[in-house]
Structure 1
């Protein structure tokens, strides 16, 4: 079973610029860039025009290492110092559930329950009892 932990930076409207900067600084490349405008419509309809150019996900890859970034959705809290999360990618959905549930123990806060999304069969967000923000993600099956 494969698992990797990746630093995930949350920006406030400048994730594309930051991704380019880190790619240059680290000798890598920007891959998998997706904006809020690229996402399918949600239950409340399409993303508002003012957020469509914001980044919902982008990766910087340098050698065997990666850094992931996204922008906040306008109105979501953003505070420098609290904008770094840990993304746990794991191929086994049952193990992802075990990890997510373990991180939820104690005085934690579930931000997004582990659930199927348009980009993952199992994705969730939790702030653990130590105040560390984790994203647990099962990548989609390869076609």
Structure 2
């Protein structure tokens, strides 16, 4: 089982520009990049046109480390200070649940831990100190 702590940068529509900047400035290598428009369709929630080219998720490698990126969804709150989160990435769903349950104590759940199309267990919380965490479980579900 692995556990990694990865800085996660949330941008307001300019994640692709930031990725290109870090490619040049930090010699970063893009490992993965997907826009909201490239994600699966959900007929119950049609994707607004202005969201289609925004980055849903990207991972870049800088040296031996990773940075992750996404854009906010159009209309979602974004302010300086909450654009950097910490992604706890693990290969064990039980470990993800343990981290999630511990971090949400006296904190705020921003997304319940749940199965998604990209993770068997994903959720996000703001802990009691105001630190934003994403809990990501690697692997297929």
For Structure 1 versus Structure 2, the TM-score category normalised by the shorter chain is over 0.9
Q: CA deviation at 1:129?
A: 0.5
- CA contact 1:40–1:46 (8 Å) conserved in 2: no
Secondary structure at the counterpart of residue 110 of structure 1: strand
Deviations along 1:57-108, one digit per CA (max 9) or x if unpaired, are 11111232111111000111000122100000000101110110000112x1
1:89 alignment partner in structure 2: 89
1:130 alignment partner, SS class: coil
Aligned pairs (5 A) from 1:81-120? 81-106=81-106, 108-120=107-119
User: Does 1:125 find its partner at 2:124?
Assistant: yes
User: Aligned partners of 2:58 and 2:88: how far apart in 1?
Assistant: 16
For 1:5, the equivalent position in structure 2 comes to 5
| TM-score of the pair, normalised by structure 1 | 0.93
Runs of 4+, deviation exceeding 6 Å: none
Q: Per-residue deviation at 1:140?
A: 1.8
Return the offset for 1:131: 0.6
Q: Give the equivalent residue in structure 2 for 1:137.
A: 136
- Give the distance between the partners of 2:101 and 2:7, measured in 1 at CA: 20
Distance 1:58 1:6 in 2: 12
Provide structure 1 residue ranges, at least 5 long, that are not aligned to the other structure: none
Give the CA deviation at 1:42. Answer: 2.8
**CA-atom RMSD in angstroms:** 1.4
Classify the secondary structure of the residue corresponding to 1:70: strand
Other-structure match for 2:14: 14
Contact 1:19/1:59 (8 A) holds in 2: no
Q: 1-side partners of 2:43 and 2:94: how far apart? A: 27
Which residue of structure 2 aligns with residue 41 of structure 1?
41
